[in-house]
Structure 1
Amino acid sequence: MYTYLFVLAAFCYAVCACLPSKNRMAISLGTLFGWLLHGGALWVDVVTSGSLRMGFAIMLSATLWISVAAYWLENRNFSLDGLRILVLPCAAVSVLLPTVFPGNLIPLDGKSALFPWHIAIAMLAYSTLTIAAFHAVLMALQESKLHTRQSAQKAGWFALALDRLPALLTMEKLLFRLIGFGFFLLTLTVLSGVVFSEELFGKAFKWEHKTIFTMLSWLLFGILLAGRKWRGWRGKTALSFTLTGFTTLLLAYVGSRFVLEVVLHRSVA
């Protein structure tokens, strides 16, 4: 019944991704409208009476939903048109995934009141580090373009969008601001999972694939922030750590659930 909300949200994202950057107001309003539709659809789909619907598609969709919000807010302070071209098409695809892969219902009866908070913080951490990964890709493209300058007449629309990005140093400051906040949220996610494992999930803490990948991602981002502070890491080193940490985090939950739900057809909580 609410499928049309997902479709409308995907349509708004797709249109806003294709609009010329000069239509700044239309892009902003269209993105906001799509984001509201996306959020409403997720709420109706995920929150049911006495249970939560979870799955790799819902997790990915929710992550991109928060990432779109981060882009929209960040774009009000800086011109990040190149980020729009990366984020909105991905959001348009992810918003439709729950209609194809609905996931499983997780009963909340007997679970701690901390459980929804753990899920919410985890999604915020995933989303913040997702937008950081998009940001890192943009920086890599921006840096590459500096070494292959071409005339404005020959440049494509994406190259022109890259030209409108802030300077690399500003982009780098934004990247580490996102990583710092994402690392803080990921730390809360890891701590709540370790300390309250039995209360949250009804079982003692286990070293499984999801835990190992999450801890590895946390370690990578921690090393990056420490290297930035004490060794002044930047440029390709920072981008490599960011994308590796993000890929590892993606494998921790979304990737493992995709294998279990879609490839192995197993119902998981």
Structure 2
Amino acid sequence: MLPIRQRRAADIGVLLGWLLHGTALALDVLLPASLRVGFAVMLSATLWISVAVYWLESRNLSLDGLRALVLPSAAVAVLLPAIFPGSVVSLEGKSVSFAWHIAISLLAYSTLTIAAFHAVLMALQESKLHTRSPANQGGWFSAALDRLPALLTMEKLLFRLITLGFILLSLTVFSGIIFSEQLFGMPVKWNHKTVFTMLSWFMFGLLLVGRRWRGWRGKTALSFTLSGFATLLLAYVGSRFVMEVVLHRGLA
């Protein structure tokens, strides 16, 4: 753990970087009477929110090991919208509910992204404990893993993230289904995006039920978390990446 003075300096640095990232993101996304969307914008926003969650959680938990992992990723993500600008969605004639739907969707996706990243770290942390490699081997990444909280603490944080993400994803799913005509001007379409989103919602819900009633944890929890996130990734980022990068087409 860093000394108190160094921790305060690091916290201020993270906060300033987060504010700059947020400013750049706002300039990318918020256009006159429209929004810019795309897989790069979504990844940038996800990591921006991830830094905020990390910064807040570090108030109560020792998460110094995450600093060297989360912050460089966010620094790279802030540059992606300049390379892959995505497409512009007009807000003309849209209700306020449409903007709220987008905001909740982004929060849900971002929270579950953090949960997936957290699950990967837990798997690597557990693997490192079993290998019993010397503390001075493995470089900066191994040192970062050594600074993570105990696995039980990491697991508690994981399920807090999943619970919050599931609540937000539920709001996204049900608002999209119930208010589809009002939000998008058409009845709900059961396309690949809708199906993958519903499947991801079911998997995270099943994990929380299994945790509550069957005590699911460890590898079972990690498998469900990563599978649910991969499914959600196919629904959102996957479709935009294919359309924008592989097919070179905009996607509204």
TM-score range, shorter chain: over 0.9
Once the two structures are superposed, what CA deviation does each residue of 1:206-226 show, in whole Å capped at 9, x if it has no partner?
011111111111111011111
* Equivalent in the alignment of 1:259: 242
* Equivalent in the alignment of 2:203: 220
8 Å CA contact 1:87, 1:134 repeated in 2: no
Pair 1:104 & 2:87 matched: yes
Measure, in 2, the Cα distance between the counterparts of 1:225 and 1:111.
35
TM-score, length basis structure 1: 0.88
* Equivalent in the alignment of 1:142: 125
Measure, in 1, the Cα distance between the counterparts of 2:91 and 2:139.
51
2:190 to 195, 207, 214: 207
Cα 1:53–1:143 shift into 2, 3 Å: same
TM-score, length basis structure 2: 0.94
Letter in 1 for 2:123: A
Q: Please state whether the residue corresponding to 1:52 is helix, strand or coil.
A: strand
Pair 1:232 & 2:215 matched: yes
Q: Please state whether the residue corresponding to 1:77 is helix, strand or coil.
A: coil
Count of residue pairs the alignment pairs up: 250
Pair 1:122 & 2:87 matched: no
Q: Please state whether the residue corresponding to 1:111 is helix, strand or coil.
A: coil
Q: Cα distance, 1:268 vs. partner?
A: 1.8
Q: Cα distance, 1:21 vs. partner?
A: 5.8
Letter in 2 for 1:188: L
Pair 1:190 & 2:173 matched: yes
Q: What are the ranges of 5 or more consecutive residues in structure 2 without an aligned counterpart?
A: none
Once the two structures are superposed, what CA deviation does each residue of 1:134-192 show, in whole Å capped at 9, x if it has no partner?
11111111111111223334463332332222211111111001100000000000011
8 Å CA contact 1:83, 1:138 repeated in 2: no
* Equivalent in the alignment of 1:133: 116
Measure, in 2, the Cα distance between the counterparts of 1:126 and 1:91.
16
Measure, in 1, the Cα distance between the counterparts of 2:124 and 2:224.
16
Pair 1:162 & 2:162 matched: no
* Equivalent in the alignment of 2:77: 94
Q: Please state whether the residue corresponding to 1:150 is helix, strand or coil.
A: coil
1:48 to 20, 25, 31: 31
8 Å CA contact 1:83, 1:135 repeated in 2: no
Pair 1:25 & 2:8 matched: yes
Q: Cα distance, 1:27 vs. partner?
A: 2.7
Which structure has more relative contact order (CA 8 Å, sep 6+)? It is 2
Q: Cα distance, 1:266 vs. partner?
A: 2.1
Measure, in 2, the Cα distance between the counterparts of 1:260 and 1:21.
44
Pair 1:177 & 2:160 matched: yes
Identity of aligned residues (%): 73
Q: Cα distance, 1:77 vs. partner?
A: 1.2
8 Å CA contact 1:86, 1:134 repeated in 2: no
Pairwise CA RMSD of aligned residues?
A: 1.6
8 Å CA contact 1:193, 1:200 repeated in 2: yes
77-86 or 125-134: bigger deviation: 77-86
Letter in 1 for 2:246: V
Once the two structures are superposed, what CA deviation does each residue of 1:196-248 show, in whole Å capped at 9, x if it has no partner?
11111111100111111111111110111111111110001100111111111
8 Å CA contact 1:224, 1:241 repeated in 2: yes
Pair 1:268 & 2:221 matched: no
Measure, in 1, the Cα distance between the counterparts of 2:126 and 2:27.
42
Measure, in 1, the Cα distance between the counterparts of 2:139 and 2:91.
51
Q: What are the ranges of 5 or more consecutive residues in structure 1 without an aligned counterpart?
A: 1-19
